[in-house]
Amino acid sequence: MEKDYLNILSKINSDIEEMSFDKAARLIIVTKSQPIISIRKLFELGYNSFGENYLEEARVKINEMNEDDIEWHFIGNIQSNKIKKIVKIFSWVQTVSSLKHAKLLNEECKKIDKKINICIQINIDDEESKGGIDIKDVDTFIDNISIYEFLCIRGIMAIPSKLNALKENENSYNILKSEYDRLSDKYKSVDTLSLGMSNDFRLALNKGSNMIRIGSLIFGERKL
């Protein structure tokens, strides 16, 4: 198993080096549905940035790992009644697209005197099945949440349609890179374009993503 991980991750790291517009691009390993033994093996190999979609599953893993050096990213749908628990165990929330949720995140962070990194999720291809705000509303959204002192606005996150990725349709990626550049010039805390997963990370890197989120390419397709 270790050898397989090493081979796969070596190839991904090579792709980051060769294809990345931004040579500082980071890999977030998506560990949803993966056993704790796999996460521990990756941690032992030197990886310490992991993404989880489901709070209760993540709580078990984070408690079992019990490692201060791990950076946990929440990349699932946010539910208001789970925000208190999310704040306690995650250092990043990548799927913020609701003013209500932003307010609640700030309130819960304030209670425990903790700042949390957030990305604003953009629904770049206007898909009903995906969360996120319209790209034209980003500035208004940021203006509304910039008053929250416990939220550190790090950038934007998006999941372009799989059809676009398969067709290597670059338009959505170009739009997101342009928006990221504009936002990073306007807001000093913005330094993250979280874009690209197992099916499109090479295209995303080439178009300027500096944070990719990969799971199935490393672990194999999840078994139902």
One-letter amino acid for residue 106 of the chain: N
Task: From 192, 196, 190, select the one nearest 213 (Cα to Cα).
Answer: 196
Q: What is the value of pTM for the model shown?
A: 0.94
The pLDDT value recorded for residue 50 is 98
pLDDT in tens, 184-202: 999 999 999 999 999 999 9
CB atoms within 10 A of CB 71: 14
The pLDDT value recorded for residue 97 is 98
The pLDDT value recorded for residue 19 is 85
The pLDDT value recorded for residue 20 is 78
CB 19 within 8 A of CB 205: yes
The pLDDT value recorded for residue 224 is 44
Full set of structural domains in the chain with CATH? 2-219 (3.20.20.10)
The pLDDT value recorded for residue 222 is 62
How much is the mean pLDDT over the chain? Answer: 93
Rounded to whole angstroms, the Cα distance separating 177 from 190 reads 13
What residues in the chain have per-residue pLDDT under 70?
A: 1-3, 22-23, 165-169, 222-224
CB < 8 Å & 24+ apart, contacts of 94-98: 94/51, 94/118, 94/119, 94/121, 94/157, 94/194, 94/213, 95/119, 95/121, 95/131, 95/132, 95/157, 96/120, 96/121, 96/145, 97/121, 97/122, 97/123, 97/131, 97/132, 97/133, 97/141
The pLDDT value recorded for residue 166 is 65
Structure tokens at 26: 């980071």
Task: Please report, for residues 1, 43, 210, the alpha-carbon distance to residue 13 in angstroms, rounded to integers and kept in the order given.
Answer: 18, 16, 13
